[in-house]
Amino acid sequence: MEEKKSGFVTIIGKPNVGKSTLINKIIDRKVSIATHRKNTTRNQIRGIYNRENVQIVFIDTPGFLSEYKTKLNLEMQKRIKESLIGVDIILFLIPFWEKFDDDYLRKITLLNLGTEKNFPKKYCIITKIDLIKGDEGNELKELVQAIFQLNYFDKIIPISGLKNLNIDLLIEEIKSDLTDNIFHYSEKDFKGGSDQFYIQEIIREKILLYLNEEIPHNIFVQLKNISIKNKLISIEADIIVNRESLKRIVIGKEGIKIKQIGENARKEIEKYFENKKVFLNLIVKVKKDWENKDSIIKGI
Ligand SMILES: Nc1nc2c(ncn2[C@@H]2O[C@H](COP(=O)(O)OP(=O)(O)OP(=O)(O)O)[C@@H](O)[C@H]2O)c(=O)[nH]1
């Protein structure tokens, strides 16, 4: 039997370079928010790629480096460096059309932790190569050459997360650099137990995405019913808030917020159920002081 391999990988890059698209393509399932909480010593785990003999844990790195020495940037640099401790591989993403100039280099050399030689491994991942048109092939070549000459990265891999180009290759390369031979997480850890739990977490996550981050602490999602008929999965869930004003915020002007939350949650639940069609009915209810009600707390 093949030897087990596992390790931690982080993805870093400017906004919009394709980080989320790549992670979502690779990972099997998002790790639940509840699992994050258990891992306070680790940084947030974004997702896990789990196969019989391989476990790759993707973690979030907070933001992107900036060299200007404002207090905020110094704090960010500190946090980013902390988040990289113990990581086996850093994937540094850059779209194929960008120039790898001195500014870029300064930014990435800030990542060099100066710990063990060759550790963590550093990959330069050139993204969005599906967008390359005939005469733009040279741009990619020039970028690869420039990166190669830096002699900084261990590997240079052009990919497209969106069009699934070279993703298998990337996974193979990651596997070949992993050295741990025990799995850090069990199935139970990242599957979070049940479908019900997952659906609730997905809805909660979307509420977090579309509303002010502070609000969801006062919001609770309760799955009421789930049924399957003619290949359609119908889900009814209540979003429980503790006051009327919050209900109005969740619903939004002319229902815009709840629509966004519902649509995005539905799409993700469909993915969770391997692209089966889902009908999602969300109802916002006010239950005063729900945070102190045992019957609700026990269900969380
Ligand atoms: N054509 C193409 N578009 C891509 C690819 N990867 C990502 N995109 C698009 O680029 C945009 C940004 O992608 P994200 O994956 O959200 O980028 P990100 O780096 O996570 O962005 P932030 O969350 O802002 O840091 C989206 O519109 C994606 O659909 C790719 O491989 N090819």
**Are residue 183 and residue 219 in the same domain, yes or no?**
no
Q: What is the CATH number of the domain that holds 48?
A: 3.40.50.300
pLDDT band of residue 163 (cuts 50, 70, 90) is very high
Write the residue with the smallest CA distance to atom 21 of ligand 1. Answer: 16
**Are residue 199 and residue 289 in the same domain, yes or no?**
yes
Residue with tokens 């503790």: 242
pLDDT tens-digit readout, 78-122:
767 776 777 899 898 999 988 877 777 777 666 655 455 567 898
Who wins on pLDDT, 173 or 276?
Answer: 173
Residue 66, pLDDT score = 58
ipTM above 0.90, yes or no: yes
- What total of structural domains would you count in the chain? 2
Distance in angstroms (rounded) separating the CA atoms of residues 239 and 32: 18
Where in the sequence is the domain holding 164, given as residue range(s)? 5-188
**Are residue 38 and residue 171 in the same domain, yes or no?**
yes
Q: Which of 188, 205, 233 is the last residue of a domain?
A: 188
Nearest to 92 by CA among 124, 67, 62: 124
Residue 30, pLDDT score = 54
CB-based contact 45:59 (threshold 8 Å): yes
**Are residue 146 and residue 256 in the same domain, yes or no?**
no
Q: What is the mean pLDDT of the chain?
A: 79
**Are residue 167 and residue 182 in the same domain, yes or no?**
yes
Q: What is the 15 CA–ligand 1 centroid distance (Å)?
A: 9
Check whether 156 has a pLDDT greater than 90: yes
Which of 11, 20, 24 for mutating ligand 1's site (highest number of atoms within 8 Å of CB)? 20
pTM of the model: 0.65
**Are residue 228 and residue 183 in the same domain, yes or no?**
no
**Are residue 274 and residue 163 in the same domain, yes or no?**
no
Residue 231, pLDDT score = 81
**Are residue 66 and residue 136 in the same domain, yes or no?**
yes
- The share of the chain scoring above pLDDT 70, in percent, equals 73
**Are residue 113 and residue 248 in the same domain, yes or no?**
no
pLDDT band of residue 41 (cuts 50, 70, 90) is very low
**Are residue 37 and residue 104 in the same domain, yes or no?**
yes
Distance in angstroms (rounded) separating the CA atoms of residues 290 and 65: 41
Write the residue with the smallest CA distance to atom 8 of ligand 1. Answer: 18
**Are residue 251 and residue 203 in the same domain, yes or no?**
yes
Atom of ligand 1 nearest to the CA of 23: 15
